[in-house]
Amino acid sequence: MDKVSYIDHAEKWKKEFVFSSPTTIRFSETDMFGHMNNVSPFIYFEEARINFLKEVGLFTNIHHVTGVPVVADLQCDFHQQLYFDQTIQTYVKAVHVGSTSFDLHYMVVNEKKEIVLTGRGRMVYVDQHTGKPQALSEEMKQKLAAYTA
């Protein structure tokens, strides 16, 4: 955790998460090395990200709004091996909420509450039709902030 560029103070960083989403690691998400495949965290991040955005109200009525949050980048640090059938909890929080974008941070813990994966990724709020960045409303910004302790 010490070497992870997007984590300043590990204890503070951990405590800020309030939203989480559970997943159980599937057999098809393992590989011949016997543990969770390196692609799988991004499946869990996406699942938790969408659950978070739905909770915040940024994924609702997606066909009736012009704006949609788009992934600009993604990263994951592997702190501990994960295995088939483990139940993990993926925490998500928004940081650096700007006028048209925000970062999401991810923290995945195992059954013992040990941090097994961490990650982050920038989301840009874009107009579905033009593909250009669109302003986040004050209400959206407040909602994003409300899910960070």
Site residues (vs its own copies, CB under 8 A) = 4-5, 26-28, 30-35, 37-39, 42-43, 46-47, 50, 71-78, 83-84
State the nearest-atom distance from the C-beta of 22 to its own copies, in Å.
11
- Between CA 20 and CA 49 the distance in angstroms is 9
Q: Which is nearer to its own copies, 43 or 145 (CB)?
A: 43
Q: Which is nearer to its own copies, 4 or 97 (CB)?
A: 4
* The dihedral formed by the CA atoms of 49, 47, 121 and 25, expressed in degrees to the nearest 10: 140
State the nearest-atom distance from the C-beta of 24 to its own copies, in Å.
8
Q: Which is nearer to its own copies, 78 or 147 (CB)?
A: 78
State the nearest-atom distance from the C-beta of 149 to its own copies, in Å.
25
State the nearest-atom distance from the C-beta of 55 to its own copies, in Å.
13
* 51: helix, strand or coil: helix
State the nearest-atom distance from the C-beta of 16 to its own copies, in Å.
21
- Between CA 54 and CA 45 the distance in angstroms is 14
Q: Which is nearer to its own copies, 5 or 130 (CB)?
A: 5
Does residue 40 contact residue 29 with C-beta atoms inside 8 Å? yes
Nearest to 149 by CA among 30, 2, 4, 13: 13
- Between CA 2 and CA 89 the distance in angstroms is 21
Q: Which is nearer to its own copies, 47 or 127 (CB)?
A: 47
34 token code pair: 């016997």
